Amino acid sequence: MKKSFIVIGLGRFGASVAKALEAQNCDVLAMDIKEDSVSRIANDVSHCVIADSTNISALKDLGVASIDHAVVCIGNSLQASILTILNLKKLGVKRITVRADEEDHMDVYKMLGADDVIIPEEASAISLANQIISDNILDYYVVSADYAIVKLIVGKNFETKTLMELDIRNRFDINIVGILKSGEFYIPRGTDAINPNDVLVVVGKTPKIRKFDNFLNN
């Protein structure tokens, strides 16, 4: 089942997150209080609304309580970000990621219940979008328009197999360039096994990595 997202605040960063999530075929609701901000991405994101996230009734009417992950990108208004986080928590949104413009605001957002707080200069919108699509992706680094390096955790129900048995290169067209076991990193060989809770460093095209993630964790 696809995860659902709401992106609140459609400035340059928020719009990029919303479009990147849409490009990965996620269920995305893009929202801003300004009509022109919504209009700019209306052709790129299927569901866009003009609404005030500081108004909990507006969020209720949009069905935000059933959304898996909220990304708050208001940025330029501490008060609006705070009220939005509080509203999302009251509605029971499962996970909240917040953009902060200043480091001083990060602790405030965390105290209010934000699960992750990022400063745009420290993570690109595309990397953030790809990382939050899956709970198993720990880090995502864009190499080019097509390729990425991803840290991916192996699901607890995965059946232990060696790399040779899995034949990952031929089956998924990706490469595992490193494995972290109990915090220790090493470059794997074909005879090495992949176990539940291992962290894999994977290189490949994003759709291929997504397919491999589903294989490891479903």
Please tell me the predicted confidence (pLDDT) of residue 40.
94
Helix/strand/coil percentages in the chain, nearest 5: 40, 30, 35
3-class DSSP assignment, residue 213: helix
Q: Which residue has the tokens 């219940």?
A: 113
Please tell me the predicted confidence (pLDDT) of residue 132.
73
Please tell me the predicted confidence (pLDDT) of residue 62.
96
C-alpha–C-alpha distance, residues 179 and 9, integer Å: 37
Q: Which two tokens stand for residue 115?
A: 């699960």
86 Rama class: left (phi>0) / alpha (psi -120 to 50) / beta: alpha
C-alpha–C-alpha distance, residues 22 and 194, integer Å: 32
The residues with which 199 forms a beta bridge, in sequence order, are 153, 180
Please tell me the predicted confidence (pLDDT) of residue 124.
66
C-alpha–C-alpha distance, residues 26 and 41, integer Å: 16
3-class DSSP assignment, residue 186: strand
The residues with which 194 forms a beta bridge, in sequence order, are 161
C-alpha–C-alpha distance, residues 79 and 108, integer Å: 11
C-alpha–C-alpha distance, residues 77 and 58, integer Å: 19
Nearest to 45 by CA among 5, 96, 84: 5
Please tell me the predicted confidence (pLDDT) of residue 7.
97
Please tell me the predicted confidence (pLDDT) of residue 71.
95
DSSP 216: H
Please tell me the predicted confidence (pLDDT) of residue 121.
58
Give helix then strand counts, H and E, for the chain.
9, 13
pLDDT tens sequence for the chain (218 residues): 678 999 999 998 899 999 989 988 889 999 999 999 999 999 999 999 999 999 999 999 999 999 999 999 997 788 899 999 999 999 999 999 999 888 788 888 988 989 988 887 545 676 777 777 777 777 777 666 677 888 889 988 899 999 999 998 899 999 888 898 887 888 888 898 999 989 998 888 888 988 898 888 87
